[in-house]
Amino acid sequence: MPNITVDNETLEFDGRPRLLQLCLETGVDLPHFCYHPAMSAPANCRQCLVEVGTPQINRETGKPNLDENGQPIIQFMPKLQTSCSMDASDGMVVRTHKSSELVKRAQKDNLEFLLINHPLDCPICDQAGHCPLQNQTYKHGPEGSRFEFRKVSKPKQIDLGPRVVLDGERCINCTRCIRFTDEISESHQLTIIERGVRNYPMTPPGVEFDEPYSMNVIDICPVGALTSKDSRFRARTWEMSKTASISTVNARGSNCYYWVKDNKIVEITPRTNMDVNEYWLADEDRLDYRIFNDNRPLGPTISGADVNWDAAYKAVADCLKGAKGDRVQFLGSAFATVEDNYLLSKLATAVGASTPMYLTHTEAGRGDTWLRTDDRTPNSQGCERLGFQPANRSALRSLIQSGGLDVLYVLEDDPVASGLCSAEDLAGVKVVLHYYNSTNQTLPAADVAIPAATAVETVGTLVNDQGHAQRLRPAKSIAGVNRTLSMEIGKCRADRHGTPFDKWYDESNLINCQPGWVSIPRIASDLNIEMNYKGPRNIMAELSSANDAFAGATYEAMGEFGVRLSEIGVTA
């Protein structure tokens, strides 16, 4: 296998990786700004300079010349080379800042240059705390500045488009944003204008930076030049906790981080998963977080009156107890997790009702060939795999209107708002509703309303439109004590902040709600139906062995990046 030597350590590689990428993947921390693995390498930041040598090849034999010890003679290039623009080749010898004073000096010099015209506004900059320029300056930069002149003035607070704001002075001209619009999204909505030290990114005249993936440039910006109009100045990085989970806005389930401050979602950023969304996240995935924060329920209600949880569970059990199985309709939910839908189907079977159906939510034209889908729910494929059929809306509506139903059990959905039937149609039907927001239009017609934990408060599994089963992790806490959730929060947060055991824990904005895997087994127990699970992990373990459509989808296997399930109907 071909190999290179970096700082006297041998690294093996396959193919023709770029030297910088190879170093980063094997743990050699080379500073860099403009390089991004998904894009071309213009080598313009000049931060990743290294000394590179290659074996001296004998022109006659085509083989390396050897020295007196039998080792190949290495010829170093006269100038430092940018490792981002260089392919690794067999026998290459590289010296980084760890073994070369020259490289160390070059990295320091380059940072000095980058900083002379960079404003010292870190105390008010959103990027501070997770800023590559800040971090690399701490690691490799000079201790002070020799620059004694006015910094260059450039436009600030420019709205490039509806969602992205530019601070020209912070820009270090890495052109990542330009290359994103040229090479990745191909919207070509950004370019560099002006020349030399006055350069900054801008839209062409008359063009707005409004493509549906515009906010990715904020994440790839190595400084705070591009910020989110939505979340800028709302929280400092270190005031937030960050949880690796998945987006639930559409059926793709793009991997993301939820950033939480005071138990409110502040921002959603992409998480790299090469099988699903690579490095990117659509703007819609980032901006639809208000359902997690606003208009949340205060607690369970019976016919609109506040009750305690025990009373609510008992009321649901009473509804189901008196009803004949064929006059009870369970509606599963493409918003809810596989686990919750699975428990619902068990409940339905136990009370003699038919397999739950689910409501589809699609909007033609919302999807594209990339990360957005027409399907506006995160788990319709999960429902399908559980054997749920999409509800035949007109048939179900006639059934409700003709008085053919005694109980309509709705898991985490809104039949009225989705146009299945009106609230009046439901007057003669007992409605049990698990819901997220008090704006739910079925709520006035609900006999028993159970506040449900949203995707950022629960543990569970969603299956995206490509059959990729992925785990949801709790980004924020709910009211009350739930050992499973607390354990998961502590386990899955990269920063370990926000658990009840550390000082960042916040009591504010806790929602009085329950995940389906807590509420449904409680209802079952009131009905004397056996439904004993230690938690969602066990539910999924059972499902993955019992149902071929979920074969292999254990929590352990899904881990951070999920597993690709076999096609429906195909045995793994």
Partner 1 sequence: MDDKKTKAGDWRSYQRVLLPPVKDLHKLDVYEKHEGYKALREVLTTDKWNPTSVTNEVKKSGLKGRGGAGFPTGLKWSFMPPVDPNIPRFLCCNGDESEPGTFKDRQLMEYNPHLVFEGMLIASYAMSIKTGYLYIRGEFADWITLMEEELEKAYAKGYVGKNIMGSGYSCDIVIHKGAGAYICGEESSLMSSLEGQRAYPRVKPPFPAQKGIWGYPTTINNVETLACAPLIINKGGEWFSKIGAPSHPGPVLYGISGHVNRPGVFEYPTGMLITDLINEVAGGMRGGKKLKALIPGGSSTPILRADMIEGVTMDADSLREAGSMMGTSGMLIMDEDVDIVSWLRRITHFYHHESCGQCTPCREGTGWLENIVTRLDEGQGQLRDLDILLDLCTQMEGRTVCALADAAAWPVRYTIDRFRSEFEAKCSTETVPSGGVLETA
Q: Tell me which residues touch partner 1 (CB under 8 A).
A: 41-47, 49, 78-80, 82, 85, 106, 108-110, 112-114, 116-117, 142-149, 152, 172-173, 175, 191-192, 194-199
Could you tell me if 430 and 400 are in contact, meaning their C-beta atoms sit under 8 angstroms apart?
A: no
Q: In angstroms, what is the minimal distance from the CB of 79 to partner 1?
A: 4
Nearer to partner 1, 117 or 337 (CB): 117
Nearer to partner 1, 134 or 269 (CB): 134
Nearer to partner 1, 106 or 411 (CB): 106
Nearer to partner 1, 1 or 120 (CB): 120
Q: In angstroms, what is the minimal distance from the CB of 99 to partner 1?
A: 18
- The single residue listed with the structure tokens 């959603």 is 268
Q: What is the DSSP pairing of strand 389-390 with strand 357-358?
A: parallel
What per-residue string of b and e applies to 57-83 under the rule 16 or more CB within 10 Å gives b? eeeeeeebeeeeeeebebeeeeebbbb
Largest CA distance in the chain: 97
Nearer to partner 1, 110 or 464 (CB): 110
Nearer to partner 1, 14 or 148 (CB): 148
Q: In angstroms, what is the minimal distance from the CB of 461 to partner 1?
A: 45
Nearer to partner 1, 152 or 350 (CB): 152
Could you tell me if 567 and 467 are in contact, meaning their C-beta atoms sit under 8 angstroms apart?
A: yes
DSSP per position, 187-231 = ----EEES-GGG-EEEPPTT-----TTTTHHHHH-SSSSEEETTT
Cα–Cα–Cα angle for 40, 259, 165, rounded to 5 degrees: 55
Tokens of 136: 């690399």
Residues recorded for the chain: 572
φ/ψ of residue 259, rounded to 5: -100, 125
Nearer to partner 1, 47 or 554 (CB): 47
Nearer to partner 1, 115 or 463 (CB): 115
Q: In angstroms, what is the minimal distance from the CB of 218 to partner 1?
A: 22
Q: In angstroms, what is the minimal distance from the CB of 121 to partner 1?
A: 18
Q: In angstroms, what is the minimal distance from the CB of 165 to partner 1?
A: 22
Could you tell me if 458 and 482 are in contact, meaning their C-beta atoms sit under 8 angstroms apart?
A: no
Q: In angstroms, what is the minimal distance from the CB of 53 to partner 1?
A: 16
Q: In angstroms, what is the minimal distance from the CB of 153 to partner 1?
A: 13
Q: What is the DSSP pairing of strand 49-55 with strand 74-76?
A: antiparallel
Q: What is the DSSP pairing of strand 49-55 with strand 468-472?
A: unpaired
Q: In angstroms, what is the minimal distance from the CB of 137 to partner 1?
A: 12
* 3-class secondary-structure state, position 176: helix
Distance CA 118, CA 115 (A): 5
- The single residue listed with the structure tokens 């070059």 is 106
